[in-house]
Amino acid sequence: MPIYTADSMYVQGQVQTGWALWVEGDQIAQVLPVDTLTAEQKAQVIHFENGFLIPGLVNSHNHSFQSLLKGFCDDQDFFTWRDQALYKYSKILSRDDIYTGALFAFGEMLKCGITTVCDFFYINDQANENARAVIEAALAVGIRIVMARTLYDWEGAPTRFRETLPQACDHTRQLHAEFKAHPMVHVLPAPHSLHGASTAMILAGAELAEELDTQFHMHIAEGQYERQMIEQQHGKPPVAFLESLGVLNDRLVGIHCVWLDDAEIELMAQRGTGLSYNPSSNMFLGDGITRIREMLAAGVCISLGTDGGCSNNRASIIEEMRMTSLLQKVKFHDSTVTTAEDMFAMGTLNGGKNLGLPIGELAAGYAADFTVLDLNDLSMQPRQNALKNLVYASQPSAIRAVFVAGKKVLEAGQLLTVPEAEIVRRVQLTTASWG
Ligand SMILES: [Zn+2]
């Protein structure tokens, strides 16, 4: 039962000194002041000199295979990007390529201090083997994974994405049962979107979440076209339509939610529906600006995601904290509308809430997932306010160590699990013939 201390630690919502993190197995047993430790406990202390110990960062939305597509179709409009990058290459990926893409995405995330990723995965081939390959990659590299197993039936999408309703439900149920007892793997249903899943599929996803007692994730109103399409088809905007279906509840986490009106924001807050926000991706694809200021005021639980590697194209939640804040400040011409403290909650604790897991906080009973930053890194100077520096100034060079489920997976900025050179070799092998 190791006890960790550091020069600074983020405890009880603030940066504090003189605290210790007592880990038992894969959980935090206690967070307590150093001066209350017994002599026997003090003998077990591992101290991070010049370290800033924070809860591990939570990436609440990603598509890992898309990391392989970086640079292949950048600076194009959404539909060109979708057809010429996403659809084109997802048709040719082998299971081994999918594994490589996941190793690549997750390895990069660990190097940015992320300890949990939600992978929204839809190249299912009417089975679960590909999703298992993604899970295996997560376990190999040592990151906690939430597999958002997609339910997808829109006929315009590649065959590999599509399933019948019974197939999608049975496979999701099977995958959930298979990993139910696994401490590092969590499975939840994910009807793709209002354009990728039929109404029947969305209703089934909501019912499955109830049956399996999980959250369920869905892309909502990412592009303006989706809002217009739903209004034309159903006479209501997306969130109001979901409310009319009876699926707007506290299990649902909407991804993006860029194009919402006031009434829809109020509805989300009333129903306890969460938001997984991906500012870099929304900017990269020119989607628009989600109404974060209004959603914060309404009390919507907002977490952050990097989204896929070919619509960002970085893999850092600290980057998303910074982007969220800057984008609101520029939108309102007001630098007071967001704070680093709110951004940090979005990248940690709120991620845990939107994934339904005890992660994102240093507290008893939470997972022993934590990241240590180097207070002596140039990007963390001066030592005026470690949290503001983390959100606005830090670079990945400041990430010194990462622990997931009590196990050290990164030290001195290097992965301890899968050698980085091996990941690079695999990525080059997969993508060398593309273009
Ligand atoms: Zn997405």
Q: How much distance in Å is there from the Cα of 309 to the middle of ligand 1?
A: 10
How many angstroms is it from 33 CA to the middle of ligand 1? Answer: 41
Centre of ligand 1 from the C-alpha of residue 193, in Å: 9
Q: What are phi and psi of 59, to 5 degrees?
A: -100, 105
pLDDT of residue 183: 97
Provide the pLDDT for residue 1. Answer: 81
pLDDT the model gives residue 78:
84
pLDDT exceeds cutoff 90 at 15:
yes
| Å from CA of 328 to ligand 1 middle | 21
Average pLDDT over residues 276-303: 97
The Å distance, Cα 79 to ligand 1 centre, comes to 14
Question: Residue 85 has what pLDDT?
Answer: 85
Phi, psi of 213 (to 5 degrees): 60, 55
pLDDT value for 428: 97
153: pLDDT strictly greater than 90:
yes
Q: How confident is the model over 357-373, as pLDDT tens digits?
A: 999 999 999 999 999 99
Stretch 231-251: mean pLDDT: 97
Q: What is the DSSP string of 3-64?
A: EEEEEEEEETTEEESSEEEEEETTEEEEEEEGGG--HHHHTTEEEEEEEEEEEPEEEEEE-G
Minimal CA–CA distance to 44: which of 24, 17, 18, 16?
24
- Give pLDDT, residue 305: 98
- Residue 307 CA to ligand 1 centre (angstroms): 5
Calculate how far, in angstroms, residue 255's C-alpha sits from the geometric centre of ligand 1. Answer: 7
pLDDT digit string, tens, across residues 175-209:
999 999 999 999 999 999 999 999 999 999 999 99
- The pLDDT mean for the chain works out to 97
- In angstroms, what is the span from residue 174 Cα to ligand 1's centroid? 23
Strands 274-277 and 19-24: unpaired
pLDDT value at position 72? 87
* CATH 2.30.40.10 segments of the chain: 3-56+360-415
Mean pLDDT of 57-63: 98
Q: Specify the pLDDT at position 86.
A: 87
Q: 254 C-alpha to center of ligand 1: Å?
A: 10
Fold assignment, 3-56+360-415: Urease, subunit C; domain 1 (2.30.40)
Q: So what's the pLDDT on residue 366?
A: 98
Q: Which of 158, 69, 71 is nearest to 105 (CA)?
A: 69
Tokens of 327: 């984008």
**What is residue 176's predicted lDDT score, i.e. its pLDDT?**
98
Per the CB < 8 A criterion, the answer to whether 65 and 397 are in contact is no
Ligand 1 centroid–CA 180 distance in Å is 24
Model pLDDT, residue 415 = 98
- Ligand 1: centre distance to CA 256 (Å): 8
Distance 120 CA to ligand 1 centre (A): 7
DSSP-H helix ranges across 122-164? 129-141
| CATH code 3.20.20.140 region(s) in the chain | 57-355
Of 72-81, 283-292, 409-418, the poorest mean pLDDT is in 72-81
Which residues in 254-277 are b (16+ Cβ under 10 Å) and which e?
bbbbbbbeeebbbbbbebebbbbb
* pLDDT at site 191: 98
Q: Any bridge partners for residue 62, and if so which?
A: 119
Indicate whether 435 pLDDT > 90.
no
SS3 state at 95: helix
Residue range 52-56: average pLDDT?
98
Angle at the Cα of 278 from the Cα atoms of 273 and 282, rounded to 5 degrees: 120
Per-residue pLDDT, averaged over 117-136, amounts to 98
Mean pLDDT across the stretch 337-345?
Answer: 97
In angstroms, what is the span from residue 60 Cα to ligand 1's centroid? 10
Comparing 77 with 303, the larger pLDDT belongs to 303
Domain 57-355 - what CATH class? alpha beta
